[in-house]
Amino acid sequence: MSYSGYNIPKKEDKKVISSRTKYKISIIVSEWNKQITYKLLDGAIETLTHQGILNQNIFITKVPGSFELIFEAKKKSKESKFDSIIVIGCIIKGETKHFKYLCKSVSYSIAKINLKSSIPVIFCVLMDENIKQSIERSGGKIGNKGIDAAYTSLKMIELNKS
């Protein structure tokens, strides 16, 4: 398992892992650029289960694109059954200004939801100049940002519960 983050534990205490079995995590994934987002999703799920989260406590919702992550994250943040939400998307720059406005609105809106929510909303939306960068960040040379998002989710759940 590769990861690109820092300060990520290589080995977890069995007691810590067993304490995570009751955590419930919602993962909202964009189907746009699914050759990238599904790799991020796989990295997140593999990491969460390796770190003690039960498969039945990982709830996956697919939305058409990154903009739709906003609505679903807002909806899920109001449900009381989740300990964390991970949003996964991939926006790749094209020829128009669409990239700039989409990146700005998605990041701003998810941040706003995070500020109002009582649970952490973890941002795993790649915003890359080209497909090559996205491939490198979803299991390529740079690692898998889905793995980073999973570790961040666990850390934030534990901070939120302390």
Is 50 an annotated catalytic residue?
Answer: no
Does residue 18 come out as left (phi exceeding 0), alpha (psi in the -120 to 50 range) or beta? alpha
- Which run of H or E residues covers position 16? helix 14-19
**Catalytic hit among 81, 98, 116, 141:** 98
End-to-end Cα, the chain, rounded Å: 28
How far is 152 from 123, CA to CA, in rounded Å?
9
Return the active site residues. 98
